């Protein structure tokens, strides 16, 4: 499924008020995590987002809702747990000493009131009852860390993933309004700012590009991102970029001690509101005051909202941060742009769980320079509630190319030719009868091609069986040609006769068939938690699958029958951490269903082992700790996983307690510097004995500089 289609499906489900009505929530959750990660990549690296900020935030809020109701699903890779903005190539990497976190977003006064209530409760625990907020413009540009040493500007780092960014110092030095020398400042000063392009410069640049036949920049942010990352700093200088600053990340004196610093007392470029627009008003009144937005719209820079922060920096430290955002601040986003268009017809799409979703085909309309032609109608309750009909003219919310949200019907424009939208009687994919349950209509045929395809794609996905080379196109062929009817049929690909037959289909060359077959065969050795996760059990994600495996190992489950007996025993399963009655009930139903057991028997017959005993490892005594930096021709997560299994502790960044550092190509300079001077690992011989691949490595201070070849030979 393409990113657009996947996003569309998730947008359709995001309006669901009762998450318990969603089947296969674990698979839905992982799809949501993967989709948001892909959108981060498009936004931060390629500078070509296909959805608006509003749409992204809606999906992000959907993710938060799922994690709040099903906390056992929470993955370390979730955008709510860490910033997942990707890092582009072409610039050297640099670590942030203080994480550059994003802000929690709000679109209505109720969110602001909830934010204030949380602040009040958190500070009350510290016996603080009086506090104030500051309010600032929300810049629509590129976030950057600016570092000054002894008053001299020395480094600029993009936000990246919040922990590591790109060193763009040379390009930032071309920004004329940014002081290259500050006076009366701490010995080390790190400031957060925003690089922007003015609207007038953007229009002039686009006019020039149009005359040259080049693609136009959609907005000032895209133009800024495309400019600041040019490899020719001379060209960057011609773009006349601007920089605003708004926060001190850290300040230290000559002895390396933290000190306070008032950014407002410096010569750094800042922006504030006229006092007449803010003084004497509440935060909610300011955010809803049209004069505030009119003031920002009158400026030569783009702003997409307001930022509200707890004023006292000491209180901010008390409030702290989550992995994703600080608790002491929130961004209020201005209402998204809306346009009107007509619903020409309605299609019905079948999701992985069998839910049939109505989708409107729209008369194409451009919103913010992007043409919109389809929009989700979510479900039939949504259609009835908004009284949406075919041929209606509707308001649609600002979006990218992905389907936007229909806000409402412009009933004044009805002509009498509009038609009611009726639910289908038969599945548009398999033509089986459709049933109604609550707000949704379902295809209940477990062999429905649309559902089978989605289940297979989950089965082969990275966090499940990790069978690479099998994407949407391959699955379409395998299912449409009748080769695969369920996930167990994946292992038919080991049959030589079938491999010969596949050569007849477009895209199936000998090399591709060989690689897929190798991946399929290797997947039989995957650990049991991956197998369980691959089954797509509702309410069971990666973390819960791992917890289930721990229970099975404790119970010495070495067969499918024993596993089934344990997972249908509610008294045993309910003892697992983060497991609720809903998940217990789901496991009982799943492992009691005859079609599930038949599927598991099929998997067993092709060589999948449902044994947790083979994965039981004696608890290792505490060993050395390590960190990793640089790139390898294989996953750093794999190195981490294998070494942690052997009892070694992993540190995301080197500290005084880190014993050695594995260094690959393009290693981060800051991590290397952090490793220098750390205490030498006294158990070096033990380390080398248990990990022979380290013997040929140069061990220096505790730093281990790993050659790519030797690491690969040892681990793979």
**Which residues are tagged catalytic?**
138
Cβ contacts of 532 within 8 Å, gap of 6 or more: 540, 545, 548, 549
Which class for 111: exposed (0-12), middle (13-18), buried (19 or more C-beta within 10 A)? middle
Phi, psi dihedrals of residue 436, rounded to the nearest 5°: -110, 135
Phi, psi dihedrals of residue 206, rounded to the nearest 5°: -65, -35
Residue labelled with tokens 């209402």: 335
- Is-contact 546 630, C-beta < 8 A? no
Q: Output DSSP code: residue 245.
A: E
For residue 41, give Cα distances in angstroms to 47, 48, 89, 333, 350.
8, 9, 12, 22, 27
- Do strands 393-397 and 338-350 pair parallel, antiparallel, or not at all (unpaired)? antiparallel
Q: Output DSSP code: residue 435.
A: E
Distance of CA 54 to the CA centre of its chain: 15
Distance CA 666, CA 361 (A): 48
Distance of CA 280 to the CA centre of its chain: 39
Distance CA 587, CA 581 (A): 10
Handedness of CA 482, 484, 489, 494 (dihedral sign): positive
DSSP secondary structure string for all residues of 626-690? EEEESB-SS-HHHHHHHHHHTT-EE-SS--TT--EEEE-BT--HHHHHHHTTPPP-TTHHHHHHH
Distance CA 573, CA 575 (A): 5
- Is-contact 41 86, C-beta < 8 A? yes
Candidates 150, 112, 156, 152; CA nearest to 245 is 156
- Is-contact 487 456, C-beta < 8 A? yes
Cβ contacts of 257 within 8 Å, gap of 6 or more: none
Which class for 390: exposed (0-12), middle (13-18), buried (19 or more C-beta within 10 A)? middle
Phi, psi dihedrals of residue 241, rounded to the nearest 5°: -70, 160
Candidates 223, 85, 99; CA nearest to 160 is 85
Distance of CA 520 to the CA centre of its chain: 28
3-class SS of residue 184: coil
Cβ contacts of 169 within 8 Å, gap of 6 or more: 154, 155, 156
Distance CA 417, CA 545 (A): 53
């Amino acid at each position: 499924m393409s990113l657009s289609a996947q996003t569309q499906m998730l947008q359709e489900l995001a309006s669901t008020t009762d998450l318990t009505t969603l089947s296969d929530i674990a698979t839905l959750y992982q799809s949501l995590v993967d989709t948001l990660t892909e959108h981060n990549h498009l936004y931060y690296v390629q500078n070509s987002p296909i959805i608006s900020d509003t749409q992204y935030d809606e999906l992000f809020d959907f993710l938060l809702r799922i994690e709040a109701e099903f906390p056992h699903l929470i993955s370390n890779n979730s955008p709510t747990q860490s910033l997942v903005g990707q890092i582009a190539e072409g610039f050297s990497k640099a670590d942030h000493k203080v994480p550059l976190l994003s802000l929690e977003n709000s679109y209505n006064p109720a969110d602001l009131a909830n934010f204030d209530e949380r602040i009040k409760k958190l500070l009350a625990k510290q016996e603080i009852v009086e506090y104030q907020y500051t309010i600032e413009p929300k810049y629509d540009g590129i976030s950057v860390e600016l570092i000054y040493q002894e008053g001299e500007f020395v480094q600029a780092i993009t936000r990246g993933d919040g922990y590591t960014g790109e060193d763009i110092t040379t390009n930032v030095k071309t920004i004329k309004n940014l002081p290259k020398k500050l006076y009366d400042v701490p010995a080390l000063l790190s400031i957060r700012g925003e690089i922007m392009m003015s609207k007038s410069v953007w229009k002039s640049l686009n006019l020039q590009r149009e005359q040259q036949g080049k693609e136009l920049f959609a907005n000032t942010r895209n133009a800024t991102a495309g400019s600041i990352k040019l490899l020719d700093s001379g060209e960057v200088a011609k773009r006349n970029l601007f920089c605003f600053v708004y926060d001190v990340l850290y300040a230290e004196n000559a002895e390396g001690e933290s000190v306070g610093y008032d950014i407002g007392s410096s010569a750094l470029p800042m922006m504030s509101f006229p006092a007449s627009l803010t003084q004497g008003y509440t935060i909610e009144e300011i955010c809803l005051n049209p004069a505030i937005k009119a003031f920002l719209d009158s400026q030569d820079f783009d702003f997409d909202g307001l930022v509200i922060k707890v004023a006292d920096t000491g209180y901010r430290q008390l409030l702290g941060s989550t992995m994703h955002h600080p608790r002491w601040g929130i961004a209020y986003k201005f209402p998204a742009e809306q346009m009107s268009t007509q619903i020409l017809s309605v299609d019905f799409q079948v999701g992985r769980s069998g839910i049939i979703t109505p989708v409107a085909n729209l008369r194409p309309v451009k919103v913010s320079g992007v043409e919109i032609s389809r929009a989700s109608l979510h479900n039939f309750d949504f259609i009835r509630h908004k009284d949406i009909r075919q041929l209606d003219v509707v308001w649609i919310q600002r979006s990218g190319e992905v389907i936007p949200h229909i806000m409402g019907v412009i009933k004044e424009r009805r002509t009498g030719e509009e038609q009611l939208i009726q639910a289908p009687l038969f599945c548009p994919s398999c033509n089986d009868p459709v049933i109604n349950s609550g707000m949704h209509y379902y295809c209940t045929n477990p062999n429905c091609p649309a559902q089978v395809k989605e289940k297979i794609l989950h089965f082969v996905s990275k966090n499940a069986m990790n069978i690479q080379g099998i994407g949407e196109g391959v699955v379409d062929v395998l299912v449409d040609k009748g080769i695969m009817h369920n996930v167990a049929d994946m292992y038919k690909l080991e049959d030589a006769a079938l491999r010969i037959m596949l050569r007849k289909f477009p895209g199936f060359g000998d090399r591709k068939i060989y690689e897929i077959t190798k991946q399929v065969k290797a997947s039989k050795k995957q650990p049991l938690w991956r197998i369980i996760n691959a089954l797509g059990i509702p309410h069971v994600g990666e973390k819960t699958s791992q917890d289930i495996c721990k229970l099975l190992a404790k119970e010495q489950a070495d067969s499918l029958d024993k596993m089934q007996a344990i997972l249908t025993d509610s008294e045993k399963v309910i003892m697992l951490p983060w497991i609720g009655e809903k998940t217990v009930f789901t496991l009982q139903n799943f492992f009691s269903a005859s079609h599930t057991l038949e599927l598991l028997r099929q998997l067993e017959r092709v060589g999948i082992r449902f044994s947790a005993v083979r994965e039981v490892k004696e608890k290792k005594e505490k060993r050395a700790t390590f960190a990793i930096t640089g790139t390898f021709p294989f996953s750093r997560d794999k190195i981490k996983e294998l070494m942690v299994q052997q009892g070694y502790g992993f540190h995301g960044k080197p500290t005084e307690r880190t014993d050695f550092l594995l260094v690959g190509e393009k290693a981060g300079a800051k991590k290397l510097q952090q490793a220098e001077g750390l205490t030498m690992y006294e158990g070096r011989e033990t380390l080398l004995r248990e990990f022979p691949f380290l013997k040929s490595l140069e061990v220096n201070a505790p730093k281990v500089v790993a050659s790519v070849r030797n690491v690969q030979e040892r681990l793979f």
